[in-house]
Amino acid sequence: MVMLKKLLLALCIGSFSLSACAAESGAAPVVAPTITPAAVQMVQQAIKGLSANIQVDSIDPAPMPGFYQVIAGGQMVYVSTDGKYLMHGDLIDLGKHQNLGDAAWSRFRKDELAKVPASQRIVFAPAHPKYTVTVFTDVNCGFCRALHEHVAEFNKAGIAVEYLAWPREGVTSTSGRPTPTYTEMVSVWCASDRKAAFTAAKEGHAPKAATCTNPVEDQFNLGLKLGVNGTPTIIGPDGSTLGGFVTPDQLLQALQKGS
């Protein structure tokens, strides 16, 4: 899949042009399918046919005729309007050199993250931030720890960092018991001074064991829903992903480019 993606992009982004990469000026306009209740039911049945446990989160007309663009189980797929076919992978506009799934993913992430209350985040922010990013993090992840070492520099650059919990081990082990990292992150989120406990955990100091009503499991599941598969995952104000470990300068440049 990675090699195919590189080959497709190379064909259109190379130093020479191919007529196949240009949109046909005389092409007929594409009529987008309507998202009716019947269409929603059809798509849900198609997805459930693969697995009864997959939740369909978003259904939109696809940028290509005859298909719906669907976000389900942290993946983007394309389901034909007759429910017979499903495609998984990147949809590339050869004329514009764009991945047509990116915009839909960004909108979906932005909308879902807006539902997370500020009180459930661990926030490191300057007095008047120019930008705010959301970071799904694990307190024991090496790159997550390296990123947090620069949090003061991020803030100095005008970037607020809002952390959400994403224990890479998951919430429970195969035995059904809570994983060590999940338990540790619950203790951080339940600490009287969450920011201090969070920073200490990033430095390798386990927090004092604590339990309370906490959002750690919900945030882990939200990450899965948004396609998170590793930490750190940085999401910009518009819902786009901005990478994993980045330096303050790299993150600032990415945010400036996207604004």
Domains in the chain with CATH codes: 33-98 (3.10.450.70), 117-258 (3.40.30.10)
Assess whether pLDDT exceeds 90 at residue 19: no
Assess whether pLDDT exceeds 70 at residue 249: yes
Which 3 state secondary structure label does DSSP give 136?
A: strand
Count the residues in the chain.
Answer: 259
| Predicted local confidence at residue 125, as pLDDT | 98
Distances (CA, A) of 7 to 92, 128, 188: 12, 44, 45
| Model pTM score | 0.84
Angle in degrees, 0-180, between the axes of helices 216-225 and 180-189, rounded to the nearest 10 = 120
Assess whether pLDDT exceeds 70 at residue 228: yes
pLDDT in tens, 133-159: 999 999 999 999 999 999 999 999 999
Report the relative pairing of strands 131-137 and 159-165 from DSSP bridges: parallel
pLDDT in tens, 37-62: 999 999 999 998 888 889 999 999 99
Whether residue 101 contacts residue 58, with contact meaning beta carbons closer than 8 Å, is answered with no
